[in-house]
Amino acid sequence: MVRASSYVLKDISNVLENRDLSKIKELYKLKELFDKFSARYSEDSELIKICEKYSKYLENKDLNKLNEIKMSLNVLRSTRTKRTALSDGLWFKNRRPNTVQSINVI
């Protein structure tokens, strides 16, 4: 299963933060970006949920929803970064030989 990397999530977050969302055109450019990545990473259920939240945000333009989307993106990005750092979320498991494959943090 191919999931969006933390770099892709960071790019989406940056675009979301830097756009003037008071303009209708900008809202729909961002929708195109979400659609592009949800099609590319169609098996990434966590990203798909965030994309669906953005579609719901477009319906009523509730700022609480937008803040929830931003928070979800940041949490997901952080999780993906940690998985990769711990060699748990690597595409190729043998890329880091001689490392501990899982570390339990208490």
Phi-psi region of 100 (alpha: psi -120 to 50; beta: other; left: phi over 0): beta
Mean pLDDT, residues 14-18 taken together: 85
Contacts of 9 (CB under 8 A, 6+ apart): 47, 73, 76, 77, 80
pLDDT score at 101: 52
Say which residue the tokens 């989406």 belong to.
12
Is residue 18 scored above 70 in pLDDT?
A: yes
Q: Which one-letter amino acid corresponds to residue 89?
A: G
pLDDT score at 72: 93
The predicted-structure confidence for 62-87, as pLDDT tens digits, reads as follows 889 989 999 999 999 998 888 776 65
Instruction: Say if pTM beats, i.e. exceeds, 0.85.
Output: no
Closest C-alpha to 86, from 72, 76, 77, 96: 96
